[in-house]
Amino acid sequence: MNPIDAQVLALVTANARMSSDDIADQLQISVAQVEILLKSLETQGVIVQYTTVVDEKKLPQRSGKIKALIEVSVRPEKRTGFEAIAKKIAQFNNVVDHYLVSGGYDFLVIVEGDSLEEISSFVSDKLASIDNVRSTATHFIMKKYKEKGILIGQPPKEERLAVSP
Amino acid sequence: MKSDFSHILDTIPPSGIRKFFDLVIGAKDVISLGVGEPDFRTPWAIREDAIFSLEQGKTSYTSNSGLLECREAIVDYLAQRFDAHYDPTTEILLTFGVSEAVDIVLRSILNPGDEVIVPEPSYVCYTPLVQLAGGKVIPLDTTSTQFIPDPDQIARAITPKTKAIILCSPSNPTGRTIPKDTLIQIGKLAQAHDFWIITDEVYAELTYDGPFQSVAALPNLKPSTILLNGFSKAFAMTGWRLGYVCGPPELIARATKIHQYSALCAPITAQYAAIEAVKNCAKDVQAMRDSYKGRRNLFVKRLNEIGLPTALPEGAFYCFPNIRHTGLSSEEFALRLLKEQRVAVVPGYVFGLGGEGHIRCCYATGLEELKEALTRIKKFMKSLQ
């Protein structure tokens, strides 16, 4: 990847709402160049989606999502290995992240729902019942400290002196 | 008798920055471009090592020069990063920021009447500290060479009493960086006329358009060079108060003598933090540098667009817009901008010759604040028409 592409990507990764104007001026390139670059990164599928990091704690009570991290052990299938099972799991709307991992289990699946019940029934009715899923272990997320490299609930920056040498 | 205070001190005016600070402190909803420090917190790895040192009970004095482990880590860093080579046992002293380093270096080398050449506009502490050390400042106005010290002008200022020149590159307040060729020419003058080059390189890591050239790394110049650097800017460690001076053993021994009586040693917690900083934090520094660079590009371009001619500075986190065409003095401009649009900048006159007609803006503040400041400055400029 060329350095300008990488720098544009770094800026929108940190702040997806940064205007093309601001990106252009920071990187000393034209606005048109930024837009062409972004469009091309989107078309190539390098940029898949622009999303937002939310601190659910700040939302009015009960409107926040419940999240759980599920360890899934499976029996790989002949010819397709993990792929066919992975595709089945990843399609569910409740699944927000899904990884194949090394170690004591196979898939790390992060699911989201409106209530504990929703997640529990998802695990029992949908996930655990898939053929070749051998076992699951569900960990409900109780508190979020950091997401996508961003500290959550960080105290505001301390005041610097307004004028200093 | 008690009312008779130090005569030298009483001839030195209080810093113009202080005066402005007092005005800003009472004002509400002010966007400050008047700061002289990073807007990052010290990287966590550094803070964590400092905390660990406290948990281990490392709370004593260190040797006057500083922990050997810290001095070794710093000289390794200087060698790798800037090709400047020093002996950790005899050629480096850890100080309370670069500020103490400037003070004790000047007191180590100056006798009454010795002259120190200071290209201006310059950082505000050089002139008063030369005067307190009994020396005489020979200020040089660098306006006509776009704030880069001019070797010909320096040559004309040299007298048999010239003891040193103080360089600051990248510069506070202009952000300009002295090109290698110019440094070599100044170096030749220093060798020919046997004076010191005191080089304040605290912004060395914040150089945006190419590698930084340390004076100490130039051929044959090490014996004439007193290198000052510190942790405040590169590692976002202003409050830790840690700097250092590197130079020939005969200079370091003398600076250490003052340091042992007036400061004893630099803070031990900061020294442990510094070891982690120079050993393992290059990536953090790079990330901060990239962030400053982007803000510099955006801010300087837009200042020019709203009618404040501003050269693109090569380093530090300051720019130095020219406000002469507004017809206002730098103090009037800064005062009115603060009062009418609630943006704080530092009037250029406080930085000495050539500073008048300019304001110092620090862009080490959030992008959204910078954009809001630009909107307000634009309104202010319109109101002047």
B2 domain residue, yes or no: no
Q: Given a cut of 80, is residue B30 above it in pLDDT?
A: yes
CA atoms of B355 and B349, how far apart (whole Å):
5
Residues B137 and B51 in one domain: yes
Range of the domain at B95: 44-280
pLDDT tens string B160-186: 999 999 999 999 999 999 999 999 999
Domain CATH for B132: 3.40.640.10
A62 — pLDDT class (breaks 50, 70, 90): low
Q: Taking phi first (over 0 means left), then psi (-120 to 50 degrees means alpha), and beta for anything else, what does residue A72 get?
A: beta
Strand partners, B98: none
Please, what's the b/e burial string for B306-330 (b: 16 or more CB within 10 A of its CB; e: otherwise)?
ebbebbebbbbbbbbbbbeebebbb
Bridging pattern class, strands B343-344 and B31-32: parallel
A47 phi, psi to nearest 5 deg: -90, 115
Residue B362 belongs to what H/E stretch?
A: strand B359-362
What average pLDDT score do residues A32-52 get?
94
Tokens of B262: 């007036």
The confidence score (pLDDT) of residue B131 equals 97
B17 vs A30: which has the higher pLDDT:
A30
Torsion angles phi and psi, residue B163, rounded to 5: -105, -30
Taking residues A59-63, report their average pLDDT.
Answer: 73
Phi-psi region of B305 (alpha: psi -120 to 50; beta: other; left: phi over 0): alpha
B196 and B342, same structural domain? no
Q: Is B172 left (phi over 0), alpha (psi -120 to 50) or beta?
A: beta
A162:B125 CB<8 A? no
The confidence score (pLDDT) of residue A55 equals 83
Q: What is the mean pLDDT of residues A49-63?
A: 81
Cβ distance of B32 and A163 shorter than 8 Å: yes
Choose the closest CB to B25 out of A25, A28, A162. Answer: A162
The alpha carbons of chain A give a radius of gyration, in whole angstroms, of 21
When scoring B19, B35, B39, B305 by the number of chain A Cβ atoms within 10 A, the one with the most, hence best to mutate, is B35
At residue A60, the pLDDT reads: 80
For residue range B93-109, what is the model confidence (pLDDT) as tens digits?
Answer: 999 999 999 999 999 99
Same domain as B251, residue B139? yes
Nearest to B298 among A25, A157, A165 (CB): A25
Point out the least confidently predicted range of A66-70, B22-26, B201-205: B22-26
Nearest chain A Cα distance for residue B121, angstroms: 13
8 Å CB contact of A162 and B15: no
| Among B124, B290, B371, beta carbon nearest to A165 | B124
User: Residue A160 and residue B37: Cβ atoms within 8 Å?
Assistant: yes
Question: How many residues are recorded in chain A?
Answer: 165
Give the distance, in angstroms, between the CA of residue A114 and the centroid of all CA atoms in the same chain: 18
Q: Do B15 and A25 lie within an 8 Å CB cutoff?
A: no
d(CA B45, CA A36): 38
Identify which of A10, A22, A162 has the shortest CB distance to residue B24: A162
Put simply, the answer to whether B371 touches A22 (Cβ < 8 Å) is: yes
In three-state secondary structure terms, B331 is helix
- Determine the average pLDDT of the residues in A92-110: 96
For B28, the closest chain A residue by CA position comes to A162
Name the token pair of B258. Answer: 């003052």
Residue of B nearest to A24 (CA): B298
Is a pLDDT exceeding 90 seen at residue A140? yes
Last residue of a domain, one of B280, B309, B341: B280
Could you tell me the domains of chain A? 3-43 (1.10.10), 58-143 (3.30.70.920)
Strands (E), chain B: 31-32, 92-95, 115-120, 136-141, 162-168, 196-200, 225-230, 243-246, 318-319, 343-344, 346-347, 359-362
pLDDT at B21: 82
- B327 shares a domain with B306: yes
Determine the pLDDT at residue A152.
87
Q: Which helix (H) or strand (E) holds A71?
A: strand A66-74
Residue B22 lies in a domain: yes
Per DSSP, A161 falls in state P
pLDDT per position as a tens digit, B57-101: 999 999 999 999 999 999 999 999 999 999 999 999 999 999 999
Is A25 in Cβ contact with B21 (below 8 Å)? no
- pLDDT, residue B22, reads 82
Nearest-Cα residue of chain A relative to residue B34 = A163
CATH, residue B340: 3.90.1150.10
Does residue B289 contact residue B80 with C-beta atoms inside 8 Å? no
| One domain for residues B120 and B172 | yes
Q: Quick one: B117 and B210 in the same domain?
A: yes
Q: Is residue B210 part of a domain?
A: yes
- Contact assessment for residue B110 and residue B135, using Cβ atoms and an 8 Å cutoff: yes
B61 and B26 within one domain: no
Average pLDDT over residues A93-99: 95
Task: Judge whether residue B251 has pLDDT over 80.
Answer: yes
pLDDT > 90: what percent of chain B?
A: 94
Q: How far is residue A54 from each of residues A57, A62, B385, measured CA to CA in Å? A: 9, 14, 45
- Residue B43: which of B246, B240, B209, B179 has the closest Cα? B240
Task: State chain B's mean pLDDT as an integer.
Answer: 96
Distance from CA of B338 to the nearest CA of A (A): 12
Nearest CB to A165; choose among B24, B36, B41: B36
B212 and B334 in a single domain? The answer is: no
**Stretch B110-126: mean pLDDT, rounded?**
97
* Contact: A162, B298; criterion CB under 8 Å: no
**What pLDDT score does B268 carry?**
98
Please indicate, yes or no, if residue B151 is contained in any of the structural domains.
yes
Q: Are residues B107 and B234 in the same domain?
A: yes
Whole-angstrom CA distances from B180 to B156, B169, B215, B228 are 21, 11, 8, 18
Quick one: closest CA in A to B27, which residue? A162
Residue A158: its pLDDT value, please? 63
B210 and B113 both lie in a single domain: yes
- The answer, yes or no, to whether the previous bond of B347 is cis (omega within 30 of 0) is no
Determine the Cα–Cα distance for residues A19 and B320; give it in Å rounded to an integer: 26
Domain count, chain B: 2
Of the three residues B226, B254, B280, the one that is the final residue of a domain is B280
**Contact present, B373 and B343 (Cβ < 8 Å):** yes
Average pLDDT over residues A86-93: 94
Average pLDDT over residues A11-27: 95
Q: For B284, left (φ over 0), alpha (ψ -120 to 50), or beta?
A: alpha
Give the burial class of A123: count Cβ atoms within 10 A of its Cβ; 0-12 exposed, 13-18 middle, 19 or more buried.
Answer: buried
Report the residue of chain A nearest B287, measured CA to CA: A10
A25 and B301 within 8 Å at the Cβ level: the answer is yes
Q: Which of A25, A28, A162 sits opposite B34 (nearest CB)?
A: A162
Same structural domain, B234 and B328: no
The predicted structure's pLDDT at residue A53: 86
Would the pLDDT of B243 be above 70?
yes
Closest chain B residue to A14, measured at CA: B291
The last residue of a domain, from among B280, B308, B328: B280
Is pLDDT at A50 greater than 80 in this prediction?
yes
pLDDT value at position B361? 98
Q: B377 versus A152: which is more confidently predicted?
A: B377
Average pLDDT over residues B199-205: 98
Mean pLDDT (chain A) is 91
State whether B77 and B222 are in the same domain.
Answer: yes
Average pLDDT over residues B47-53: 97
Residue B1 lies in a domain: no
Are the beta carbons of A163 and B17 separated by less than 8 Å? Answer: yes
pLDDT in tens, B333-359: 999 999 999 999 999 999 999 999 999
